[in-house]
Amino acid sequence: MGSSFEWVVFTVSAIGAVLAGVMVILRRNPIHSAMFLVLNFFFVAVIYLLLRNQFIAIVQVMVYAGAIMMLIVFTIMLISVEESRRSSPLKLTPVRVFGIVLSFLFLIELCGGLFLEMLPGRRGEFTPEKVASIGHVKTVGGLLMSRFIFPFELVSLVLLIGIIGAVILVKKER
Amino acid sequence: MIPAAFFLVLGAVIFVIGVIGVLVRREAIVIFMCIEMMLSAVGITLVAASCYLHSFDGVLFLFFAMTVAAAEAAVGLAIFVLLYRTRKTVRADEINLLRW
């Protein structure tokens, strides 16, 4: 059981993340959805801090809330200015209700599987004391440069291909 | 520490909100944002598991997933811009080019 401060932070950020996620679906203007998604990402970053993962929390804010959301907001501004005006209010057709019911069944299944067997994996070597003595970011960097060097290099190739693909796709043909 | 179940249930709830968004909304960009939300919800699960199992594999997996998500965002949004330029719409039920 954590300290009461941890519980307060967890409760606030969990409720905030869930509410922001619901608002992403409910708001009809895509720009509002994008702003609530940024809020959701910030709350998730706080959750990462509670899990003592400073590196992932900062990367979450920089990559998701910064880079990806900036791309999304720019795209919304480029293409759907008059698009949002004619978007009809959210109607609950039978198909959608069926989808929502199925999603809730999925949630129940996930939680059921969770409580059937709790984290059955083997314990690793990185105890909190060891990580605290090395430093969290330093541990991540060391692993990236030693055990995970091959995927680390591959991922740079993936990013390069992503850049080239985006440029080629939106290029105007002459 | 707070018990791991709370973090895992939170990840599941945010993931299911994303699923509902994908099923209910019609604008392709909002569907895309819901997919990003599902990705970050899976991230909570990965980080929680690797935190409570004293391992770093989940954290590094999430790091690689984030870079792939960034590349995916660039290419996906370029496809939306292209779709809007050629078909003047990005609503998912009006893009039926591949339907027969």
Cite the DSSP H helix spans in B53-96: 57-87
Minimal-distance CA residue of chain A relative to B38: A21
Contact residues, B window 39-78, toward A, CB-based 8 Å cutoff = 40-41, 43-44, 47-57, 59-60, 62-64, 66-75, 77-78
Q: Is the pLDDT reported for residue A85 higher than 60?
A: no
Cβ separation of B21 and A52 shorter than 8 Å?
no
Break chain B into its structural domains and give their ranges: 4-87
Break chain A into its structural domains and give their ranges: 1-81, 128-174
* Average pLDDT for chain B: 89
* Residue A51 to chain B, least CA–CA distance (Å): 6
Pick from A170, A114, A129, A143: which is nearest to A56 by CA? A143
Bridge partners, B27 (sequence order): B91
Q: What confidence tier does A81 reach under pLDDT thresholds 50, 70, 90?
A: low
**In this predicted structure, what is the pLDDT of residue A121?**
77
B38 CB within 8 Å of a chain A CB: no
pLDDT tens for chain B, residues 1 to 100: 788 889 999 999 999 999 999 998 888 889 999 999 999 999 999 999 998 998 888 999 999 999 999 999 999 999 888 888 888 777 777 777 777 6
Query: Burial level of A162, CB count in 10 A (0-12/13-18/19+)?
Result: buried
Query: Burial level of B32, CB count in 10 A (0-12/13-18/19+)?
Result: buried
B87 CB within 8 Å of a chain A CB: no
- Which CATH number fits the domain B4-87, given the four candidates 3.40.50.410, 1.10.287.3510, 3.40.50.720, 1.10.260.40? 1.10.287.3510
CATH assignment, A1-81: 1.20.120.1200
Residue A170 half-sphere exposure, CB side, CA atoms within 13 Å? 17
**In this predicted structure, what is the pLDDT of residue A82?**
59
